[in-house]
Structures are given as structure tokens and as C-alpha cells.
A = this chain, B = another copy of it.
Amino acid sequence: MVLDILKRNNLSVTDGRKKILELFLKSDGALEHADIEKFTGETFDRVTVYRTLQTFVDKGIIHHIPTTDNSILYALCKDNCEAGHHHDNHVHFVCEQCNKTICLEDVIVPQVKLPKGFKPSHAEMVVNGICADCK
């Protein structure tokens, strides 16, 4: 699974990459940079985390999720990544209770009618509220 993803993207398989990728696969939601660092902190250098995340973003394995606060969130979105071409067109949900960010893979970002002259290419949507677990 982890190996597939790395190989498919022509990345050499290293402990750091495996560990971080597994973390994404295990978590159903999005991860903050700080979380990832905390998790890998004992094992890997801070710099390696930066570089690994950057590599994953470049390859389209993970992507940034827009946030209203200033945190930096990354998510791996399973279906799209398996398909190989990354297309993050689903809604993200941020729970105000547990503070997790969840990829709602089945909720597609709706189209909106823009003013004259605006040409959309891609849209992101983030919904805040209470998630199913916290309800």
C-alpha cells in the first residue's frame, strides 16, 4: 500500500517516507504539520519532515487544505491518490468540537455562478461545524 504509492511516484522507499505515509493512511482526516512532527519527532529530523511533506505535495500524494485559522493542514485523499492523478474536488469538514479535519470524499464542491468575466478552474470548500463522532 505505502510501497505502491511511493513506487508509483518514482520515489525511493525510505523509512521516513513510509512512516509519514502510514500516518496519513491511518488517520481519517487531515494532519497539521505540528502533529506530523510530534509523531515523527523522536525518529526523524525536523528537516526531513519538511522535505518529505514538500516532496509529497510536489508529487500530488498529499495536498494542502485551506484553513481559516493559520494552521497548515495536509491531507492524503485516498481515492484520488490511488487513481494516480490528484484531483481534490471534495468538501473538507472541520469539527469545532474535536478540531479534526475530515475529507468528505462523497461531497463534491458545488459549482457557483460567478460574475461576468470570471473563469473558474478549481474550487475549494471548507465547512465548519460538529462532526458525526462528536454529535
Which candidate, A7-15, A22-30, A125-133, is the interface stretch facing chain B?
A125-133
Give chain B nearest CB distance to A88 CB in angstroms: 9
Copies in the complex: 2
- A residues near B (Cβ < 8 Å) are 63-70, 72, 91, 93, 96, 104, 106-107, 109-110, 112-133, 135
A22 to B132, CA, bound (A): 43
Output the least CB separation between A105 and chain B (Å).
10
Q: Given A68-B66, A72-B70, is A132 in contact with B116 using a C-beta cutoff of 8 Å?
A: yes
From B109, B117, B133, give the contact of A132 (CB < 8 A): B117
**CB atoms of B123 and A128 under 8 A apart:** yes
Contact partner of A117 among B68, B107, B118, B131, CB < 8 A?
B131
A128→B121 contact, CB < 8 A: yes
Q: Is B96 in contact with A107, judged by CB distance below 8 angstroms? A: no
Contacts of A123 in B (CB 8 A): 125-128
Contact across chains for B70 and A93 when beta carbons are under 8 A apart: no
A120/B129 contact (C-beta < 8 A), A104-B114, A114-B93, A115-B106 known? yes
Chain B residue at smallest Cβ distance from A105: B115
- Do B127 and A114 touch (CB < 8 A)? yes
Query: What residues of chain B lie closer than 8 Å to A107, measured between beta carbons?
Result: 112-115
